[in-house]
Amino acid sequence: MAFSDLLNDYINTIDCSSKELSEKSMLSNSTISRYRSGERVPFPSDKSSAIVSALSSALVSIANEKGIEVPQESVIFDTLIASLEEKDFSVSANKFNLLIDTLKINASELANSLNYDPSYISRVRANKRQPYDIPSFFHKVSQFIVEHYKSDSDREAVASIIGIPAGSLKDDTSYYNILNDWLDSDNYNNVNVNPNIKPDPSSFLAKVDSFNLEDYIESIHFNDIKVPSLPFRLSSNKSYIGIKAMQEGELDFFKATVLSKSMEDVTMCNDMPIEDMAKEPEYPKKWMFGLAVMLKKGLKINMVHNLNRPFNELMIGLEGWIPLYMTGQVNPYYIKEKTNSVYCHLHYTSGEASLTGECIESHHDRARYLLSRKKDEVAYNKEFNRYLLEKALPLMKIYKEENMEEFAAFLPSTLNCPKGILHRYTSLPIYTLDADELLSILIKNDLGERETDYMLQYHRAIKDSYEKILKNHVVTDEIPYIDKENFEEKKPYLLLTETFCSKEIYYTWELYEKHLKKTEEYAAAHPNYTFIKTKDNPYKNIQITLVRGKWVLISKSNNPNIHFVIHHPILRDAIENMVVAHPEKNILDK
């Protein structure tokens, strides 16, 4: 329900006037009137929390004076705040900025045409002001663009940032409709000509599911790679101008990094155009080989990805990084704020070398790179990249076995999950088992005493966690059901991915049937727990956990056993939408 509707409901329930509420809350009468009409809402921020707190307190105070029973102040506060959080304007603000930067729209001209103050447009762009009527605001913006930016090049530019074919915006009607839908949608990705087509991360997930690190290492002869030890002769500074020279510059940076004695982390950030660099077929292979040699040396890489691109391109780019993510030596980041579309940059640093670059958009052939080994220059660029990482957000956090303790400390953060948790598992959840039943399964699989003790400790901890979660939050488990006829073929094993257990601990049919019954009993005993049996699961080696609106956990059970916690809202929401919107026909017992 909208904030204005909720507020009016409370006001009508306690039969008070805007003036009374104004006096009690210390907010102006005009502000109260605007909130009631929907003309304005408190903007989601710490300040708005104070405003909503004042309104909640005033409503309860007036109700008490009149002897009218209303919910507790905390309940009113949470309900009003929730109505403000239903729409996150930050995605739309980013798209609004991208559109203005791409088309080089004069903000003052736009403000005058829309009948807004230029400072208001600036605050909207900075996400410091949310239009009270978002659909109306973007309707006016879309009309303005259709009327003033109608050339073929303008339409092609808009189609490019939305992520649709260039010819999709030929007539004014489709131009307006597609642009307006894209601006006002919650997802950053493209709005396709077919509105039923949704962003699809399934290819990315399928590649994670099927990826085998051992096979990949063998295919690229990774174990045969020799880290060179010959000195790399390079003057203190060397500049590179033009595409061919810049390719040489990046490879020289990799050489300087690998041949130095330093084991410091490498940090890489690049929003330069990549199409020109990738045109030569051999260059991408050399570039990836350079990364492979740095990883072979044992270096960790902090990679700040440029994600300001259509969703499908974004996913293709991330798929290419899957082999590197699987090593556990790459920490991926992204910058939430969009950098400008005119001035492009590159900043690479390692222990004893730095590579910087700059160009003007559309003039990549005249870009310049500067490779340096001068101590003061490298130190400055390291400091620059350190500040950059402070501004960056984790695209995903990657945990391998060596991060087991850190991962175990992270998992309890699921306790704060007001929007609920959803698991798409390949097997039954371990926390629905009793300890003695788990012990029976472990003994039948000849697990060692030390491993058995660890599994029992993990089981106790995870079982206690879910008892706490289910007191206040909803948990849903989707699990493919295996009948006796197909049991031997599908051979399910115990779900111990989160323990980094490398051994597959298989059920017997009797133990599987017993665990299934225990899970059904667990659901009956916990009102907030839902157990859904599905006909199948498209993935064999990954478990997906959604803590809705916060993060997605993708846990891979083998080759390698690794966990990806995805924070980026575009990718997170796309996976969440895909998992939640499963076909009803895939659900059993309906």
Per residue in 205-226, pLDDT tens? Answer: 887 888 777 776 676 666 666 6
Third-level CATH fold of 203-394: Endonuclease; Chain A (3.30.870)
pLDDT per position in the chain (590 positions), as tens?
677 888 888 898 898 998 899 888 888 787 888 788 876 777 544 445 678 888 888 999 999 999 998 888 888 887 887 776 545 566 677 778 778 877 888 888 888 888 888 888 887 877 667 776 677 788 889 889 998 988 888 888 788 677 676 677 878 887 888 888 888 765 434 333 333 445 567 777 887 888 777 776 676 666 666 666 655 555 678 999 988 899 999 999 998 999 888 999 999 998 887 666 666 777 877 888 888 889 889 999 999 987 766 566 566 667 777 888 888 899 999 887 666 667 889 999 999 999 999 998 778 888 899 999 999 999 999 999 999 999 888 888 888 888 888 887 777 666 667 778 889 998 999 999 988 888 888 888 888 888 888 889 888 988 988 898 898 888 999 998 888 988 888 888 888 888 887 778 888 899 899 999 999 999 999 999 998 888 777 788 889 998 887 889 999 888 888 999 988 877 888 888 777 655 444 555 54
At 85 the pLDDT is 55
φ/ψ of 539, rounded to 5, equals: -115, 145
Using an 8 Å Cβ cutoff, are 430 and 511 in contact? Answer: no
**Cis peptide leading into 165, omega within 30 of 0?**
no
User: Domain coordinates of the chain in residue numbers?
Assistant: 3-85, 90-184, 203-394, 401-586
Buried b (16+ CB within 10 A) or exposed e, 327-336: bbbbbbbbbe
CB neighbour class for 303 (10 Å; exposed up to 12, middle 13-18, buried from 19): buried
Amino acid at residue number 436:
D
Please state the pTM of the whole predicted model.
0.60
Alpha helices in 392-448 (DSSP H): 404-410, 435-444
Give CA–CA dist 552/572, Å, rounded.
6
Per residue in 33-76, pLDDT tens? Answer: 878 887 677 754 444 567 888 888 899 999 999 999 888 888 88
Helical (H) or strand (E) element with 149: none
